[in-house]
Amino acid sequence: MNWDLVIFYYLAIAMIFSSVFAIFSRHPVYTVLLVLVMIVHQAFLLLTLGAEFLTAVQIIVYAGAILVLFLFVVYLINLRKETKKNIFIRKVSLITIVFLLFGALLVKNLLILISLKPSFKAYLPFNVEEKSNVWWIANYLFKNYLLQFEIIGVILLVAILGAVFLIRKVKTAE
Amino acid sequence: MPTLEQYVILSIILLLIGLFGFISRRNLIVILISIEIMLNGLIILFAALSHFTKDISGYIIVFFIIAMAAAEAAIGLSLVVLIYKRLKTVYSDEITNFKG
């Protein structure tokens, strides 16, 4: 019994089904909760890839911050169950054309990626010298990618300021 | 041990599910959640590439993707709340202000 493959297939099937049910769900709260299930499964999938730090970040940031933000907004604007017959927009031919076009582009490019069999060697192999994954990520993040790290901090600050600026109460001049 | 192809195929499936939700749903919040599903497919792709090529850069990119997803969710949700305050609807086919 190959337990790695069993765990991988369980996580993959759970992620695919929860995201499909999230897209086809009629109630927005069910959508958010099913995506939460998908994200927790994905965190364990990252654990099978040997990325412990990213597992923690995924659970803390995605499940703890982003989806709770979505849930707050769903409650804030008091969405009811969709009462209309269809939850999709009605232009079926347009949806089909756009989906086939972009889907064919995505599948083609990623299949090219598989066929290339990426085997280029890295700067340094990691997890080989008794150093943990967190050590390598910290080393690269604060040496090679320091500028990008600062830029992402500025982007988060701008996002916070933009959200506050957009939602502020506008005083109408009377 | 699963191979790189299996991880890439899983990420393709998640990207297609997110793409379908993004172009076909009416609810603006579900459209934003579809973008999150597509970003999760990208996270799997980069983490798998990083794992199988023994290069740490993919993990760094995953870190940046998660931070960008947080910023994108904040801005997108504030725009949804703004649209709801102005127009009293969150359904994309009922926003017809610019229709001639």
pLDDT, tens digit, 9 for 90 and up, residues A13-27: 999 999 999 998 888
- Residue ranges of B 46-85 with Cβ closer than 8 A to chain A: 47-57, 59-60, 62-64, 66-75, 77-82, 84
User: Residue A62 belongs to what domain range?
Assistant: 1-83
Assess if residue A163 is contained within a domain.
no
Q: How many CB pairs under 8 A join A and B?
A: 209
Q: Which CATH architecture has domain B4-94?
A: Orthogonal Bundle (1.10)
CATH number for the domain including A36? 1.20.120.1200
pTM of the complete model:
0.87
- Complex ipTM: 0.90
What is the spatial distance between Cα A9 and Cα B42, in angstroms, rounded to a whole number? Answer: 18
Most confidently modeled of A45-54, A77-86, A93-102, B68-77? B68-77
Count up the domains in chain A and report the number: 1
pLDDT of A1 higher than 90: no
Assess if residue A153 is contained within a domain.
no
Express each pLDDT in B9-43 by its tens digit: 899 999 999 999 999 888 889 999 999 999 999 99
3-state secondary structure string, B39-96? HHHHHHHHHHHHHHHCCCHHHHHHHHHHHHHHHHHHHHHHHHHHHHHHHCCCEHHHCC
Instruction: Tell whether B3 lies on the interface with A, counting CB pairs under 8 A.
Output: no
pLDDT of A120 higher than 60: no
Contact A167 B34 (CB under 8 A): no
- % of chain A residues with pLDDT over 90: 34
Other CB atoms within 10 A of residue B49 CB: 21
Which chain A residues contact residue B28 at CB under 8 A?
Answer: none
Assess if residue A149 is contained within a domain.
no
pLDDT of A41 higher than 90: yes
Mean pLDDT of B87-92: 82
